Chain A
């Protein structure tokens, strides 16, 4: 009998299971890509061509008119300034909200993990309860409170709102990370004479950079995609891009401009997309850093 002695790398085999797996992956990818494809091609067509049907066909003549219109001259009611108004509003809401919510969340997470203040568990429990209650429940009471404080319908108000609703997740994220660090690190810093904020700034925060990246991604996508909070709390002047998009899509008189709607939708989705593509690797690394002692 002829027996092959094993030597060197194990021979690779293509098993039916593997073929099936790849087929499944390919089909899933197609399933999710198809709508995106339709959106892209539709946004690049003229209305005449769209009326002809054939939603899957490529545009016969490429035109970016719908994109320009969506950006700068699509109408919401009587205003015809496009979706860019919403874009800049969203940026103005996003930047301070992300910074403040992460700053506050990391600080509370740090306080709850290292400084065993009395009632820390109670505070943490309360935060978790808040995280699991649908936030619609809080809207009316918060509107009343904000009105009384005179910050309802202001930029400041909406930043506070995003900070409050981001707090449970941010606190949990950072608390768990800091709790995974050896407590001796904290003790060593205390012997070295550093105080509460000094330890946080000089030692803990630099270590938590992977967590900060994760937090930024979560908060940017969450806040950018928010609709209801922006609608309720931001005020007429500061309506975020999602609300603006809704107004453009729903306020069309006469014929529905599918190409403009598609372009406006994609413009709105652009920021989270860029964040995902730009930081996917960091995101995974950050999640892993939380799991492994670092």
Chain B
């Protein structure tokens, strides 16, 4: 297997006169699983296509495995790619699909057969090898597409939303499979998705993108617990983080939504200062009932959404700010009830009201 570290330096990409990416830097370590996460249209696919060599960059360099591949053809970059729409060759059998690239590169027939068998076994599609793509289900098609990438024996795998066309159950199943493949192969994987659950479950590191800019590049835990700005905070996590607008007073309390939340124990990024701010807290971090501590208040329950293992309870603070909290699935709370709650400082996120940066 080839070296698989990927490095993007000052990448700029234009479509005609529209600038999609500018001055973008990204370093992916060998054997790392990096997820590019962001809403539709933020430039994830564009970036991935540039790494693959399917789109020319206007400026900057792309290094793969210690080689500058900025001007090289896709086939010479040591990458393989899996697409959302599977992109299987419809007139070829599964075997034909998987061996096409090897045939093109003039690999001996015995070697092709061996690699196809091996990949098919890994993906449990050995009994599908003689079928046409039209005779396969969506999940099987995507397995074949992954198999077509595997036989190339490259150091870097690029995935562009490979699971987005599948139903929830298959998605979960293939997600595990991809994770397993990553551990087995030790290859570098760059994986594009707009699904934050996929990102959190798969990634070693996540790059959250918005408007062509990487907002935060961190481990899933860090992204989840310490989002760098309001966009990352709101995009990652389901159910979403609650936001309450207000003010920080003397760097010690947050006033907003009729609440006074003490901030002792919050790790400020800079020097704590007074001023308008937004408080963010995840539903599962709201402390409830008799556990509620400093700054506890009584919230009015408006709606209960049972979700099996737990329930999402929508409440209103005394000052009228809406937020949700997570309670056990068998909770007896009903709408109209009063629920005691507090926001522990250690699990809060505070954002600057003007530029959305974490405080």
Interface set of A (CB-CB < 8 Å, partner B)? 182, 184-185, 187-194, 198, 202-203, 206-207, 294
Contact = CB atoms under 8 A, between A and B. Distances in A.
Contacts of B92: 203
B49 interface: yes
Interface in B71-109: 73-75, 79-81, 83-92, 100-101, 104-105
Nearest to A206: B91
Interface residues of A, dominant DSSP: helix
Given A187-B81, A187-B83, A192 B91 contact: no
Given A193-B101, A193-B104, A193-B105, A187 B87 contact: yes
Q: Across chains A and B, which 5 residue pairs bring their CB atoms closest together, nearest first?
A: A193-B75, A192-B101, A184-B87, A206-B91, A188-B87
Contacts of B104: 192-194, 198
Given A193-B101, A198-B104, A202-B100, A188 B81 contact: yes
Contacts of B73: 190, 193
A188 B75 contact: no
Contacts of A294: 90
Given A187-B54, A187-B87, A207-B91, A192 B49 contact: no
Interface size bucket, B side? 20 to 34
Most chain-B CB neighbours within 10 Å: which of A182, A188, A193, A198? A188
B52 interface: yes
A188 to B, nearest CB: 4
Nearest to A193: B75
Given A191-B79, A194-B100, 12 more contacts: A182-B85, A184-B86, A187-B52, A187-B83, A188-B89, A188-B145, A190-B74, A191-B80, A191-B81, A192-B100, A192-B101, A203-B89
Nearest to A198: B104
Interface string B159-178: 00000000000000000000
Contacts of B83: 184, 187-188
Contacts of A207: 90-91
A203 B103 CA distance: 13
B49 to A, nearest CB: 7
Contacts of A191: 52, 54, 74-75, 79-81, 101
Nearest to A185: B87
Contacts of B79: 191
B216 to A, nearest CB: 29
A127 B49 CA distance: 32
Interface string B137-166: 000000001001000100000000000000
A184 B90 CA distance: 13
A52 B148 CA distance: 77
B332 to A, nearest CB: 48
A198 B73 CA distance: 15
Contacts of A198: 104
